[in-house]
Amino acid sequence: MHVPLVLTDFLDRAVELYGDKPAIIDDHQTLTYKELNERVNQLSRGLRGLGVKKGDKVAYLAPNSTEMLEGFYGVFQVGGVMTPLNTRLKPADYQFILTHSESKVLFVDEELYPLVESILPELPTLEEVIVHGGSSHGRLAYDAWRSNYSSDKFDREPLEESDTASLLYTSGTTGNPKGVLLSHRSNYLHALSSMHHLRVSDQDTLLHVLPMFHVNGWGSPFYYTLNGATQVMLRKVDPEIILQKVREHHVSVMHMAPTVLNMILEQYESQSETISHKGRIVIAGSAPPPAFVRKVEEEMGWEFIQVYGMTEITPLITTSALRSMEQDLSKEEQYLLKAKTGYEMAGSKVRVFDELGEEVPRDGKTIGEIVTRSNNVMEGYYKNPEATNETIRDGWLYTGDMAVVDERGYIEIVDRKKDVIISGGENISSIEVEAALYDHSSILEAAVVAVPHEKWGEAPHAVVVKREGHDVTEDELTDHCRNKLAHFKVPKSFSFVEELPKTASGKIQKVVLRKELWKNEGRMVK
């Protein structure tokens, strides 16, 4: 008997088993899973009333909110394709994405409406705009519109697991963003794997720190809902508010990028009040230095879990949570392992291939590219077969991340292909240099990129943010790095800045730094 793996199953289970339990806590209300389901049914009826049919794209421009989370399930019930939008783009980016995706309906938060207001008349397929919040900007007001419809059980559009669930646009560093097509099946199987490795249960309270537009919040609205966990909304990343909500709601788990974790750790260290309960912090986005692991586990007393993935694979495929045979290692050895990219999650084959398509030896030195084969892999890039064929070759998805494999089988990213610094013929990992800088007590943030060098072709340059109240010189940082790195890896120059450019999910945008540093060199910066 074939039963399709579709994401509406997850809310159904939560309603049946946890109907009266708090599902969502936002700044204004607490909703049980039954109440959430009723709102979802109203939303689905409203979408059907607008003529949304199976396969139609429904776009969302919203912070982490009740409206955003219920949007996933409301759109799925009518067979629509959820198309979340990054909240930190420019009007021209929104015009491209909404046009390319052929979105039929746009839901937008009242605070974000000005980002799209000017381009709305230029969107050929968009038929309706609905605004979340008290100020509707002359458009349909979400709560009033939704309340016109019944909350009774909704007659869903029949779905197959191969149907597209989400269309996610990657932030392009060069050229236009690409739309990643993910099926119900890939999201469903990813949820089962992720909830196993992250040990998600009905006793969890998740604070949505990671934006839900970012690869569906790593799928968190699916597997935390499936397990009947309580989900606390966070509209804006503010470390003080995050720690306040952690204490107030007894939050047990958060997902985030390392740069956001750094902000939280800084805020936590400045406070006299500690967190009395245990929890888990799940990190992905860029390799964290071992110093971050040490701070989370020793100062906060929480567990640090590193995961890895990318939009094109739904996204998570590895974890560095310690296995049973590693529990007796020293704390420092454990921290080093936890800061690595890790080993493959259930359901994903993850390898590191050299240029000939062969696996690299487990020597911790030989560099290759991370590739994966799994049910999590995208269906392809929307209306872009050339890019699809370039990324998926011979059944393997090529990630563009360069890595080594150690004797334990742990993968460790050494850099993105485009971020490797080639100085005098030697490959330098910017991540390794950054880890050394983070070990200096005066450094809050660091990013290392290549800059032109008359003798070596290019050399490492460090862009750093100092901790408040700290002062440090280039000579001091140079000496610090020489004590930790081979001399050819030590930055040849430094820039001191107030803040580093970041994406909405907290990744440092090295391409922005490179463009500035190379702008007078006549080199194409990628």
Give the residue from 290, 285, 324 showing the smallest Cα distance to 304.
290
> What is the average per-residue pLDDT within 86-95?
91
Under the banding of pLDDT at 50, 70 and 90, the label for residue 505 is low
Asked if the model's pLDDT at residue 68 lies above 90, the reply is: yes
Asked if residue 26 and residue 166 are part of one domain, the reply reads yes
- Say which residues have a Cβ less than 8 Å from residue 26's Cβ, sequence separation at least 6: 65, 66, 232, 233
Asked if residue 408 and residue 438 are part of one domain, the reply reads no
Asked if the model's pLDDT at residue 483 lies above 90, the reply is: yes
Q: Which of 194-203, 212-221, 290-299, 307-316 has the lowest mean pLDDT?
A: 290-299
Q: Is residue 205 in a domain? A: no
Give the whole-angstrom CA distance, residue 376 versus residue 100: 24
Asked if residue 440 and residue 321 are part of one domain, the reply reads no
Q: Is residue 219 in a domain? A: no
Under the banding of pLDDT at 50, 70 and 90, the label for residue 423 is confident
Q: What is the CA radius of gyration of the chain?
A: 23
Asked if residue 163 and residue 28 are part of one domain, the reply reads yes
Give the whole-angstrom CA distance, residue 80 versus residue 59: 10
Asked if residue 250 and residue 349 are part of one domain, the reply reads yes
**What are residue 34's phi and psi, to 5 degrees?**
-65, -45
Asked if residue 404 and residue 297 are part of one domain, the reply reads yes
Give the whole-angstrom CA distance, residue 435 versus residue 56: 45
Quote the tokens at residue 185.
Answer: 């099946």
Give the residue from 419, 218, 209 showing the smallest Cα distance to 311.
218
> What is the average per-residue pLDDT within 342-355?
97
Q: Is residue 196 in a domain? A: no
Under the banding of pLDDT at 50, 70 and 90, the label for residue 526 is very low
Q: Which of 416, 435, 453 is the last residue of a domain?
A: 416
Q: Which of 416, 440, 458 is the last residue of a domain?
A: 416
Q: Which of 270-274, 316-320, 350-354 has the lowest mean pLDDT?
A: 270-274
pLDDT, position 106: 98
Asked if residue 300 and residue 177 are part of one domain, the reply reads no
Q: Is residue 127 in a domain? A: yes
Q: Is residue 195 in a domain? A: no
Give the residue from 235, 238, 207, 220 showing the smallest Cα distance to 110.
235
Handedness of CA 107, 112, 113, 117 (dihedral sign): negative
Give the whole-angstrom CA distance, residue 14 versus residue 244: 27
pLDDT, position 389: 97
Give the whole-angstrom CA distance, residue 107 versus residue 116: 11
What is the chain's mean pLDDT, rounded?
94
Residue 388: HSE in the Cβ half-sphere, 13 Å Cα cutoff: 12
pLDDT tens for each residue of 2-36:
999 999 999 999 999 999 999 999 999 999 999 99
Q: Is residue 230 in a domain? A: no
How deeply is 173 buried, as exposed, middle or buried, from its count of CB atoms within 10 A (0-12, 13-18, 19+)? middle
- How close are the terminal C-alpha atoms of the chain, in Å? 50
The range of the structural domain enclosing residue 25 comes to 8-183
179-185-187 Cα angle (round to 5)? 60
| CATH classification of the domain holding 137 | 3.40.50.12780
Asked if residue 382 and residue 333 are part of one domain, the reply reads yes
Q: Strands 81-84 and 103-109, how do they pair?
A: unpaired
pTM of the model: 0.88
Asked if residue 511 and residue 412 are part of one domain, the reply reads no
Q: Is residue 203 in a domain? A: no
Q: Is residue 209 in a domain? A: no
> What is the average per-residue pLDDT within 312-324?
97
Say how many domains are in the chain. 3
DSSP assignment of 100-115: HTTEEEEEEETTTHHH
| CATH classification of the domain holding 485 | 3.30.300.30
Asked if residue 247 and residue 166 are part of one domain, the reply reads no
Asked if residue 401 and residue 266 are part of one domain, the reply reads yes
Asked if the model's pLDDT at residue 424 lies above 80, the reply is: no
pLDDT, position 506: 74
Helices (H) and strands (E) counted in the chain, each on its own, are 17, 27
Q: Which of 183, 208, 227 is the last residue of a domain?
A: 183
Asked if residue 248 and residue 377 are part of one domain, the reply reads yes
Asked if the model's pLDDT at residue 525 lies above 50, the reply is: no
